[in-house]
């Protein structure tokens, strides 16, 4: 792929999260929560009131920030913005799809595995999904 940006090396980059309340609570207990001077957090709690637009905007914001190394996103949330997640191809931040309480991990939907599945199949990823 031509024109790849250099990886921004960092000593204290953040882990961002787009997930349900319990997952966020757990990771905040593990010390990853950050609130900057603009009162912006590095997480978005997704519940039944969260709109797809909010999720999309948050995903775009997290993937464009220089201080974020990894974006954790529950797979069921990633499925809501699948086109956006699949079209993301930067090395940093790394997008990792994780299971949630009510939605176990499905490797068939993982964007990274879908990308490399192409290596084993003569069909394109898009045609597999049809």
Partner 1 sequence: MAEIESDQLQRASLDETKVKNEDEEEEECILQFLDSLDAYLTLVDSLSSSLRQGWFDLASARQSMGHTLISSKLFDHKVHSASTTINITELDADNPSDPKPQFSLSKWATTKENPSSEVPNNSNLRHRAPTSVLEDGEKSNGTQVSSVVSNDIQKERSKSLTIFGGLVSPKLRTAQVSFETALDKIVEIANARSSMLSSFSQLQLNKKSSS
- The whole-angstrom separation of Cα 116 and Cα 103 is 23
Dihedral angle of Cα 83, 84, 85, 89, to the nearest 10 degrees: 110
The stretch near partner 1 (CB under 8 A) out of 40-48, 54-62, 78-86, 122-130 is 40-48
| Residue 125 binding partner 1, by CB under 8 A | no
| Residue 33 binding partner 1, by CB under 8 A | yes
Residue 2 has φ and ψ, to the nearest 5°, of: -80, 155
Backbone region of residue 28 per phi and psi (left: phi > 0; alpha: psi in -120 to 50; beta: other values): alpha
Site string for partner 1, 66-105 (x = CB under 8 A): ---xx-x------------------xx-x-x-xx-x--xx
| Residue 12 binding partner 1, by CB under 8 A | yes
How many Å is the maximal CA-CA distance in the chain? Answer: 50
Partners of residue 94 on adjacent β-strands: 70
Shortest separation between residue 60's beta carbon and partner 1, angstroms: 20
Contacting residues toward partner 1, per CB under 8 A = 1, 4-15, 21-37, 39, 41-42, 45, 69-70, 72, 91-92, 94, 96, 98-99, 101, 104-105, 107, 112-113, 115-116, 119
């Amino acid at each position: 792929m031509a024109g790849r940006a250099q990886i921004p090396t960092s000593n204290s980059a953040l882990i961002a999260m787009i997930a349900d309340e319990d997952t966020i609570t757990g990771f905040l207990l593990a010390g990853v929560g950050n609130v900057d001077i603009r009162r912006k957090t590095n997480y978005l709690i997704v519940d039944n009131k969260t709109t797809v637009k909010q999720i999309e905007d948050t995903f775009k914001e997290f993937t464009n920030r220089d201080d974020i190394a990894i974006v954790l996103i529950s797979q069921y949330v990633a499925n809501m913005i699948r086109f956006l997640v699949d079209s993301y191809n930067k090395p940093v931040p790394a997008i990792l799809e994780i299971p949630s309480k009510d939605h176990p991990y499905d490797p068939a939907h993982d964007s990274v595995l879908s990308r490399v599945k192409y290596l084993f199949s003569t069909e394109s990823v898009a045609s597999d999904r049809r």
